Structure 1
Amino acid sequence: MEVKRIEIMDTTLRDGEQTSSVSFSASEKLTIAKLLLEELKVDRIEIASARVSQGELQAVKDVTAWAKESNYLNAVEVLTFVDKGISINWMLEAGAKVQNLLTKGSLNHLTHQLKKTPNQHFTEIKENIIQATEHGIETNIYLEDWSNGMRNSKAYVFEFLEFLSTQPVKRVMLPDTLGVLTPEESFNFVKEIKDKYPSLHFDFHAHNDYDLGVANVMAGLKAGADGLHLTINGMGERAGNAPMASTIAVINDFMPEVKIGVNETFLYTISKLIETFSGFMIPANKPVVGANVFTQTAGIHADGDNKNNLYFSDLMPERFGRTRKYALGKSSGKANIQKNLQELGLQLDGEDLKKVTQRIIELGDKKQVVTKEDLPYIISDVLDRSYEEKVKVNAYVLTHAMGLKPTTTVSLTINDEVFEESAHGDGQFDAFMNAIKSVFKQKQLKLPKLVDYAVRIPPGSNSDALCETIITWKSAEKEFKTRGLDSDQTVSAIKATEKMMNIVVS
């Protein structure tokens, strides 16, 4: 049997970041990019969209600088647009060498969104490819809405592919943009294209709107797809993209005709780290990486496992760096920190390591033990501080007495001006927020609305665990999240609020 090598492209940092309310900082993007290429060993990563923001430009510069030094630059890709060279110039400034050019893969999108003819579109694409080539930039092509194109305007799709077959394009990327395909369609559409253009490299890009992402990927591979686009934890718009962990397990266990280079033992580690960085929680029952998927609860299962492993399958937890558990229920110094980071499969540069070490020392003063499981939370808290500190909570007193309303007195500095206010509330944090509102009213500043408040502790922790509070805020312009970390729940919420104030105060 001939075995085919398949490219795995991770798009967590681009398509995955389009998950509602998710935004990675430059430090987080660099850390994730390193782990994806060096530890998970995916073939390529898509890290950003061109022209988004100055912050995104800096993040891409950081990643490409590292990638160039580490010989990964050709594995780092950026989404670009047919925009008369604006995206190309952005890429040149960012130091990127591979563009994933977004084009129209359906006549419906071309006609009603761009209002252009196929020839006009193809001419502009050709001009873009020529300009990219002149600047040493490699081109891959996205056929946006390709799945609906194959359903409703197949003649246009093949006219487009005929044009692309004459161009210096390395990969043609076939996205099920709206996640509407069935496995049967995925197989038939990819096979029809691959049979007609066997020499072209085709990537398949699945979304999960009907929970068919992994099934469609499997069908696309059987039909001859040469590469896949996946995201960690299935992050992405709407219901997300085809998830990395499940797809890798399926390929390794059910598709011997396919070979991939992904290191499956690192899947759980990177899933948990990205959960922490993004605030996008992994469902407990998510295959491979969920908290419960290797936990047996029923006593009969534990008994069966003792008797010739009756409830075991090929999906063994050790493959993914995990261990099987049996639930009981109704049914330091820098060197030491580095060692713990290594056990988690994490790497930090000297400056970030210094910041994490200092944070651990601070937390150690309040919490006697900082565990290995706490580290992703601490790293997330430290690397999230990318703002200029214009607001500082200097001091506060929180009082809570039986029969009396909670009260807070807070001292706050805003742009070197100190304020002190007291307020009552329904709880200690509510009282704190009321005091803050009074200060902001004096400064004629507007606080965003609190729309969600989530608290979590590292798995397996006790009552003295570190507590991470993730608060979602909504202003007139945007919705965003801030995180706070402390052994006290109210204090962690106050720290998250302090970050919010630094973001909204200009």
Structure 2
Amino acid sequence: MPKRRIEIMDTTLRDGEQTSTVSFSASEKLTIAKLLLEELKVDRIEIASARVSEGEFQAVKDITDWAAENGYLEQVEVLTFVDNGVSLQWMEEAGAKVQNLLTKGSLNHLTHQLKKTPNQHFSEVKEVVDLASEKGIVTNVYLEDWSNGMRNSKAYVFEFLEFLKSQNIARIMLPDTLGVLTPQESFNFIKEIKDKYPDLHFDFHAHNDYDLGVSNAMESLKAGADGLHLTVNGMGERAGNAPMSSTIAVINDFMPDIKMGVNEKVLYTVSKLVENFSGVMIPANKPIVGANVFTQTAGIHADGDNKKNLYFSDLMPERFGRTRQYALGKASGKANIQKNLQQLGLQLNDEDLKKVTQRIIELGDKKQVVTKEDLPYIISDVLDRTYEEKVTVNSYVLTHSKGLKPSTTVSITIEGETFEANSQGDGQFDAFMNATRNVFKKKKIVLPQLIDYAVRIPPGSNSDALCETIITWKNESKEFKTRGLDSDQTVSAIKATEKMLNIIIN
């Protein structure tokens, strides 16, 4: 049995832009439109509402100019209104060729918002459709509030569909405007309509108010819907629309009788671009495109992946242009770390691996997130022990108060003997160094001079887990460097100093 081809219409640039606080510039809209059509390969894009603003007009003009040059003009759509042709005039001037005409899909909306009878409404719709035909503009029709129409005024919906059947329109679009449908209702309502009008093209437009957008889209396809309206990252008014990424993955994995043209490998790229342009951040746990969804945290899962990929599913990250990650934190085991080391091309023996694992767990207990890019720095810090530890900084108190010089009290053990001292300084670390010098004066040891102090986070790290401090010291004979690693800048400097103390005492 041949697969049934469905259309995917992306409405990120129209319905998605109704997300609170979001407004794309003309150049951003053009960039997203190109990516949606050329790379993601959706069938159609809805890019604007007619008559909104001069900026919106320019955005549409830019897109239609590009689309006309590249053979995409018939795939670019604009939302219009029953307004005696004013929207159509706007469209003509903007160069658009497909209108998505907003009409009333429930008797409740028609009666209380337009205050008109069905026959009055149908007559006005006909005038707009006929005018569009004269202008060479293709018409699709939205039945706004269709879902409540099917619940509460089904006779009106079918009267409207019977009228539309006789009109020169390409598609009838059925929106769950308020996101109120259950999956069973989505299936039943669309099946009832497709059974009666099998030759008409029906799109389903899901909203996500109950987090049922993907389920409703899936059920609508089972019932025979010919197309879906989706948005990147599920953007849209209130709780948003059915999200592109999850819906595409669900269709590909659970609906083998359906085919479509969307290139799922580009979903993540498009998602990140829209995130950056919109300023609406993707939740870390959002399926397919969230930061954490291909990250194994538990060590047992990483161990299972090493043993016949026991924790893999059909949702392989490579499908979406991503890679599997193995989180580093307090739940990490050696398997997680080994996976990250493999990706970096590094190897450690069992003893060193155990030390590094313990250090990562310590950081995790501080609620710090450790990234793969941090690993070389942790390894360097943990394994940089070419000396016998004869000096230990046991404890310290750092104080910094307004109007008073910073001060430090420190306890240091040198070759089994413990000393305490306190001092002030120009900053907390300077006060710590002054107190440490006071301790070593008791042992008649002069500390080397600090000549350089550099602080950085590991390049490529996107976490706040680690801060590396590299200090250059100079004594009578040479210069040398020590490094410290911690989530706190001052503590990392103290750790670098502790290494220096061990070097000079040895």
Both structures adopt the same fold (TM-score exceeding 0.5): yes
Distance 1:112 1:230, change over 3 A: same
What's the CA shift for 1:459? Answer: 8.2
Distance 1:204 1:303, change over 3 A: same
What's the CA shift for 1:462? Answer: 6.6
What is the TM-score when the length of structure 2 is the normalising length?
Answer: 0.67
* Distance in 2 separating the partners of 1:6 and 1:289: 23
- Once the two structures are superposed, residues 278-320 of structure 1 have per-residue CA deviations (whole angstroms, 9 ceiling, x without a partner) of 0011000000000000000000000000010000000000000
Distance 1:459 1:251, change over 3 A: farther
* Distance in 2 separating the partners of 1:271 and 1:227: 21
Aligned residue identity for 1:178: L
* Distance in 1 separating the partners of 2:167 and 2:84: 18
Aligned residue identity for 1:211: D
- Once the two structures are superposed, residues 251-299 of structure 1 have per-residue CA deviations (whole angstroms, 9 ceiling, x without a partner) of 0000011001000000001101100000011000000000000000000
Taking the TM superposition and a 5 Å limit, the aligned residue runs for 1:25-104 are 25-104=25-104
* Distance in 2 separating the partners of 1:60 and 1:214: 29
Aligned residue identity for 2:61: K
Taking the TM superposition and a 5 Å limit, the aligned residue runs for 1:268-279 are 268-279=268-279
Number of the residue aligned with 2:207: 207
What's the CA shift for 1:226? Answer: 0.1
* Distance in 1 separating the partners of 2:279 and 2:249: 24
* Distance in 2 separating the partners of 1:236 and 1:185: 22
Number of the residue aligned with 2:462: 461
Number of the residue aligned with 2:105: 105
| SS of equivalent to 1:52 | coil
| SS of equivalent to 2:249 | helix
Asked if 1:403 corresponds to 2:402, the answer is: yes
Number of the residue aligned with 1:290: 290
> Superposition RMSD on alpha carbons, in Å?
1.7
* Distance in 2 separating the partners of 1:84 and 1:152: 29
Taking the TM superposition and a 5 Å limit, the aligned residue runs for 1:413-432 are none
* Distance in 2 separating the partners of 1:257 and 1:188: 19
| SS of equivalent to 1:313 | coil
Number of the residue aligned with 1:228: 228
What's the CA shift for 1:158? Answer: 0.2
Number of the residue aligned with 2:139: 139
Aligned residue identity for 2:29: K
| SS of equivalent to 2:200 | coil
Distance 1:91 1:402, change over 3 A: farther
Aligned residue identity for 1:4: R
Number of the residue aligned with 2:12: 12
| SS of equivalent to 1:311 | coil
Number of the residue aligned with 1:246: 246
What is the TM-score when the length of structure 1 is the normalising length?
Answer: 0.67
Taking the TM superposition and a 5 Å limit, the aligned residue runs for 1:296-445 are 296-331=296-331, 403=402
Aligned residue identity for 1:461: N
- Once the two structures are superposed, residues 340-370 of structure 1 have per-residue CA deviations (whole angstroms, 9 ceiling, x without a partner) of xxxxxxxxxxxxxxxxxxxxxxxxxxxxxxx
Asked if 1:115 corresponds to 2:118, the answer is: no
- Once the two structures are superposed, residues 201-246 of structure 1 have per-residue CA deviations (whole angstroms, 9 ceiling, x without a partner) of 0000000000000000000000000000000000000000000000
- Alignment identity in percent? 81
Number of the residue aligned with 1:340: none
* Distance in 2 separating the partners of 1:403 and 1:107: 69
Taking the TM superposition and a 5 Å limit, the aligned residue runs for 1:119-268 are 119-268=119-268
* Distance in 2 separating the partners of 1:95 and 1:263: 28
- Once the two structures are superposed, residues 449-502 of structure 1 have per-residue CA deviations (whole angstroms, 9 ceiling, x without a partner) of xxxxxxxxx984377xxxxxxxxxxxxxxxxxxxxxxxxxxxxxxxxxxxxxxx
* Distance in 1 separating the partners of 2:287 and 2:267: 11
* Distance in 1 separating the partners of 2:94 and 2:402: 60
Number of the residue aligned with 1:480: none
Aligned residue identity for 1:111: T
Q: Which has the larger radius of gyration?
A: 2
| SS of equivalent to 1:155 | helix
| SS of equivalent to 1:220 | helix
Aligned residue identity for 1:257: D
* Distance in 2 separating the partners of 1:63 and 1:43: 15
Asked if 1:24 corresponds to 2:19, the answer is: no
Gaps of 5+ in 2: 332-399, 404-458, 465-506
- Once the two structures are superposed, residues 142-184 of structure 1 have per-residue CA deviations (whole angstroms, 9 ceiling, x without a partner) of 0000000000000000000000000010000000000000000
Q: How many residues align?
A: 343
Aligned residue identity for 1:130: D
Distance 1:231 1:460, change over 3 A: farther
What's the CA shift for 1:2? Answer: 3.1
What's the CA shift for 1:403? Answer: 2.9
* Distance in 2 separating the partners of 1:325 and 1:30: 33
- Once the two structures are superposed, residues 77-101 of structure 1 have per-residue CA deviations (whole angstroms, 9 ceiling, x without a partner) of 0000001111001001110000000
RCO higher in structure (CA 8 A, sep ≥6):
1
| SS of equivalent to 1:245 | helix
Aligned residue identity for 1:250: V
* Distance in 1 separating the partners of 2:226 and 2:257: 12
Aligned residue identity for 1:235: M
| SS of equivalent to 1:78 | strand
* Distance in 2 separating the partners of 1:137 and 1:192: 30
* Distance in 2 separating the partners of 1:207 and 1:229: 10
What's the CA shift for 1:330? Answer: 1.1
| SS of equivalent to 1:228 | strand
* Distance in 1 separating the partners of 2:402 and 2:30: 51
* Distance in 2 separating the partners of 1:282 and 1:301: 25
Distance 1:30 1:225, change over 3 A: same
* Distance in 1 separating the partners of 2:77 and 2:460: 35
* Structure 1 moving runs of 4+ over 2 Å: 401-404, 458-463
* Distance in 2 separating the partners of 1:459 and 1:26: 32
Aligned residue identity for 1:234: G
* Distance in 2 separating the partners of 1:168 and 1:156: 20
- Once the two structures are superposed, residues 392-414 of structure 1 have per-residue CA deviations (whole angstroms, 9 ceiling, x without a partner) of xxxxxxxxx9737xxxxxxxxxx
Aligned residue identity for 1:226: D
Gaps of 5+ in 1: 332-400, 405-457, 464-506
